Chains A and B, each alone.
Chain A
Amino acid sequence: MSFQLTNVPAAQVHGAGAMAVEVDGLRLALFSLDGEIFATGNICTHAFALLTDGHVENGCVECPLHQGLFDIRTGKAQGTPVTKDIATYAVKIDEGIVWVDTQPRAGAGEAGGRAAALAAPADFRRLVIVGAGQAGAEAARRARAEGFAGTITMLGDEPHPPYERPPLSKDLLLGKTTLADAHVFDAGEAEALKLELRLSTPVASIDRDKQAVVLGDGETLAYDMLVLATGAEARRIDLPGAETVTLHYLRDAKDSEALGKALRAAESVVVIGGGFIGLELASAARALGKSATVIEAQDRLLQRLLPPEPAEFLAWVAEQNDVALRLGAGVARVGPEGVTLTDGTTVAADCIVVGIGARPRDDLARAAGLETAATGGIVVNGLNRSSDPAIYAVGDVAVLRDSVTGAEARMESWQNANLSAARAGGAIAGKPQIGTDVPWFWSDLFGGTLQIVGAPAADQTCVRRDGEAPVFFCLDADNRVAACIDFGDAEALRAARQMIEAGQPVDRAALADPDTNLFQIEDDDMKMLPIEKRFAWPAAGLDRVPDWAYTNKEIYDREVERIFHGKTWNYVGLEAEVPEAGDFVRSYVGPTPVVMVRDHDGGINVFENRCSHRAAEFCRELRGNTEEFVCPYHQWSYDLKGNLAGVPFRRGVNGEGGMGPDFRPENHGVKKLFVTQRNGAVFASFSDAVEPLEEYLGEEMLTDFDAVFNGKKLTVLGHYRHTLMGNWKLYPENLKDPYHATLLHTFLVTFGLLVAGNKSAMIVDPSGRHSTMASAKSDGAAVSDENKAEMRAYRDGLTLSDPRMMDFIPEFDSPWSVTMQVVWPGLIVQREMNTLGVRQIVPNGPNEFTMIWTMFGYEDDTEEMTRHRLRQGNLMGPAGFLGLEDNEAIKFVQDGMLNSTGGEHLVVLDPKVPTGTSTTLISEAAIRAMYKHWRQEMGL
């Protein structure tokens, strides 16, 4: 035994829970468990990380790096990735101070102390589902089916187990079926799912901080994940005279039972509201032999939902079935005599039903501060996850917001209840569902069935086809089938589904002709699917990036056209590279070669390096000074502004040959780009529609940009050029990925450039395209002993022999000592302490890009400052301590994609920030923001 004093009061350990100490050169961890103190080695046996930074639970500590788990009392490793136990040490407390025996306990910590293979740990997560309707039930079913092994509790305010609602206005209403027939779960299924089903149990509120739901009686129920499946309720109407009659609404079993009785007892039924439920009720009334009138405020049925033709057909069908339609009619009052309209007429009725739509039951969510839509409903992403990553919403109450366009859609249908529940259930079980289905809805009317596939809208044009039964195809502006409303032609409906999925323009006449084979139309057109059909972004949304975004040539060509040649500012060079008239450098905009040259007026011009005669890349020198550019092939010459100056033998020889009389040199200059400059940096654009550079960058980005380009004259220190074997976007992504910094770049951590406690940020501009990764180096004095110990922990005994490389000499008007700024699409402005540079991305196809670095200082730098910048330059570039690792990582990523079949990347870190600036470095929100912008630009 050799107990050593730690100088740490026991109370401090109990207060902190875990503390790092150094005794006798040993780095130890002290843990407080149930009032007792335990000591273990502090360095994980798997990779270099401090266990005291980890998470303590159930007597075990989880390493922060790879989640290796050790039992604190015994040091036993608890399974993958850790196989070797940590050492444990005896502890005694003397006068309140902790002493530790520096001889490790026998048995633990020795090589070969392998963890026994452990059974898969039990899943202790609690899933709570609010709302025992169709979507809630389906979510439970799907979570289990996908392997969720925690507990599931479902809370419903109705007294019935979950049931489907469509029969409420159909056979159940007519008494042909019972509620039991409509139950979602088969007998015994809820038990088999190990589902705790609590009926007649309304939920009163959600406490998101405590992760608990509060029931009506005050009982609280903790959750790890919550599904809100609260559905919708019938929209109510306030009518004069309402107190004198019974107004029927229809949403649940109780309503249906009451309405069924009333219908049977009635003579004349009036339905207020000409939607599907209203029509189904009129249909039910007619089936019972009652007179039926539908009152609709709009001029036609289903005005918001359908184009005129199918709606008018539906009206015709209703009238054929002796339903009286009162369109464009307002209700003035109701009474025992019936319904009085605003035009003064009264429609006699002894049973009045109101079917004017439903309101999503989002009150719980609203009160809990979840994001809700202006028109009602809980906003969710492609996985049906709400703005709180622990909470999902499904069914009628969920509003799906497109992560790229921001378009919102809420659907009330049997199919949506199931599909949304499947997405949430899959996500909860850790198996997100891929792929979307064409929406589908049906309604039973007058003995037939109407079906809708796709997304109809009032403003679509319609093509009617009269085959076996009438079918209406709704076409979008490009003549593509967007939806189909069918009255009984199953074959046409199947064909429509295919056409919607294919998204091909179709021939209207062929579509209308009952003799054309609809599947055949399809085949001919399928040959050239539009790009957005062939490259469908994963349904999970921005959480995933498909491989094709990085490897496909067609996508790459579209990027060149829409991004590099589109509305972007592309860095081409520094003013300091062309100080004198006639000075030029060869550069690029995207992959396209350009020349940047200073003319005699002092202006800087950028034009394509492509002769307008035969396309030759005429400027061959990297840089130089010239009075004109002469294409070597046929000696066409251009002035410093890119105007065509001379064409040899323009007039021919001896009156023969030469150019025709209509040839005008001013029409044949090289392609000139739009040019802008800011404090010495030169940008060019193919587009005249791009906003001014200041707006393009935005205020926040401009601040970081101007810290480097502050107006001082620049001195070019030289260039690096290298080819990276990866897609060009991986480079900006690398600088939007603060997560990798401490994991890949051990150098940063080893030599204290980036340590816990450093101030840092990942800032994204509002458009999502530009960003700055920033950190502030704490000066030596400010680094706490604790952090110093941690820095050393990663690699023992490493110090720089010449630490000058890591010196930061403050010289910038900025809180940051390091900023890595991405100026979309192809510029990186590097300020790594005092080493300054720009990196220009030149893509060469989807799988490779060249990077051109220009390192610089300021004209007023002292010689020592220049040397300091050069010394610090060892960090970056193709051989830089950090740079080379990024290059390798990017190559590995591309290799991974090229050497496997298409897959997708996972970019899910930090779900609380869907896209944009994050406050933590353990985030991929900036990458998601970039792809949001990219998808908008690419139309994909």
Chain B
Amino acid sequence: MNTMAAPVVDDAAARRAARLDIEEFNAAYCTVLDDGALEDWPEFFTEDAFYNITSRENFDHGRPVGLVYCENKAMLKDRALAIAKTSMFGPRYLRHYMTNTQVTGIEPDGTICATVNYILIETLAELPEGRLHQAGRMIDRFQRQEDGSLLLSSRIAVYDTLLVPNALVLPV
């Protein structure tokens, strides 16, 4: 994947630089989910990306199911399309927050491993005060592209908030 000429280093400076890139990446990612077009969301991923939203309960016990379980970008596109074009759900605002970004390692092939905490606040027409919908942690793998930008090759969202209020309509 990594076609950059320079040898990969995993040191504090590289991690710091990666962290800044990831924070920027996630800010853009949240903006698309909160205020943008859902069809743009798959563009944050590589073609063979893995994406899963699962509970802490499953993750800790090695159970593989996901609320959303996608094995590649095509499936992410299908989800975006289906949600945008066919799904019925009540009007709502969703706002994603990602904090505590940590780069946990940079692998020899350039893959950046990172984690970030997230919360998702959902505001319904009939619940204008909003509520916490999910709180959890993303376990991510990023690939740097030729133009220097990042794409996710894996994102596993592990939520602590075991009991999903009603339905999760949009991805996290």
What residues make up the interface of A, taking CB atoms closer than 8 Å to B?
622-623, 716-725, 744, 746-747, 750, 795, 798, 800-802, 805, 850, 855, 866-867, 870-871, 873-874, 877-881, 883-885, 887-889, 891-892, 895
Contacts and interface: CB of A to CB of B under 8 A. Distances in A.
A722 B163 contact: yes
Contacts of B169: 879, 884
Interface residues of B, number: 39
Interface in B39-64: 53-55, 57-58, 61, 63-64
A878 B168 contact: yes
B89 A884 contact: yes
B69 A874 contact: yes
A721 B55 contact: yes
A881 B67 CA distance: 10
B165 interface: yes
Contacts of A720: 55, 65, 67, 164
Nearest to A726: B166
Given A867-B71, A884-B169, A723 B163 contact: yes
Interface string B156-172: 00000011111111000
Contacts of A722: 163-167
A717 B61 CA distance: 10
Contacts of B20: none
Contacts of B70: 874
Contacts of B164: 720-723, 878-879
Given A718-B54, A801-B75, A747 B82 contact: yes
A566 to B, nearest CB: 27
Nearest to B161: A721
Contacts of A874: 68-70, 75, 79
Given A720-B55, A805-B75, A874-B79, 6 more contacts: A747-B82, A747-B86, A795-B85, A870-B65, A878-B166, A880-B67
Interface in B76-114: 77-79, 81-83, 85-90
3 nearest CB pairs, A to B: A718-B63, A718-B65, A801-B74
A866 B66 CA distance: 13
Contact of B65 (A801, A873, A881): A873
A873 B85 CA distance: 20
Given A878-B166, A878-B167, A879-B168, A719 B57 contact: yes
A891 B79 contact: no
23 contacts: A717-B65, A719-B57, A720-B55, A723-B164, A724-B166, A725-B166, A744-B88, A746-B86, A747-B87, A750-B86, A802-B71, A802-B72, A805-B78, A870-B65, A871-B69, A871-B71, A878-B164, A878-B166, A879-B53, A879-B169, A883-B167, A888-B89, A889-B88
Q: Is the interface of A mostly helix, strand, loop or mixed?
A: mixed
Contacts of B77: 801
B66 A795 contact: no
A850 B163 contact: yes
Contact of B167 (A623, A747, A879): A879
B90 A891 contact: yes
A723 B165 contact: yes
B126 interface: yes
Nearest to A888: B89
Find the residue from B61, B81, B164, B168 having the highest chain A CB count within 10 A: B164
Nearest to B90: A888
B58 A718 contact: yes
A880 B86 CA distance: 12
A881 B87 contact: yes
A716 B88 CA distance: 30
A721 B163 CA distance: 5
A884 B170 CA distance: 10
Contacts of A747: 82, 86-87
A879 B55 CA distance: 13
B63 A887 contact: no
A780 B58 CA distance: 35
B167 A802 contact: no
Nearest to B88: A885
A795 B83 CA distance: 13
Contact of A887 (B66, B82, B167): B167
A892 B90 contact: yes
Nearest to A866: B64
A870 B86 contact: no
Contacts of A892: 90
A884 B74 CA distance: 21
Given A747-B86, A881-B86, A887 B65 contact: no
A850 B163 CA distance: 8
A892 B169 CA distance: 15
A802 B57 contact: no
B51 to A, nearest CB: 11
Contact of B166 (A717, A723, A802): A723
A754 B1 CA distance: 41
B78 A800 contact: yes
Contacts of B162: 721
Contacts of B74: 801-802
B61 to A, nearest CB: 8
A880 B68 CA distance: 7
A888 to B, nearest CB: 5
Contact of A719 (B55, B68, B71, B78): B55
A686 to B, nearest CB: 25
Contact of A870 (B61, B66, B72, B79): B66
B64 A888 contact: no
Contacts of A750: 82, 85-86
A862 to B, nearest CB: 14
A622 B58 CA distance: 11
A800 to B, nearest CB: 5
Contacts of B65: 717-720, 855, 870, 873
A854 B37 CA distance: 33
A850 B162 CA distance: 11
A77 to B, nearest CB: 25
Nearest to A835: B65
Contacts of A881: 82-83, 86-87
A540 B61 CA distance: 52
Contacts of B55: 718-721
A883 B65 CA distance: 15
A718 B64 contact: yes
Contact of B66 (A623, A721, A725, A873): A873
B126 to A, nearest CB: 7
Contacts of B75: 801-802, 805, 871, 874
Contacts of A855: 65
Nearest to A867: B71
A715 B146 CA distance: 42
Nearest to B71: A871
Contacts of A724: 166
A168 B164 CA distance: 72
A884 B169 CA distance: 7
Contacts of A622: 57
A878 B67 contact: yes
Nearest to B169: A884
Nearest to B170: A879
Contacts of A883: 167
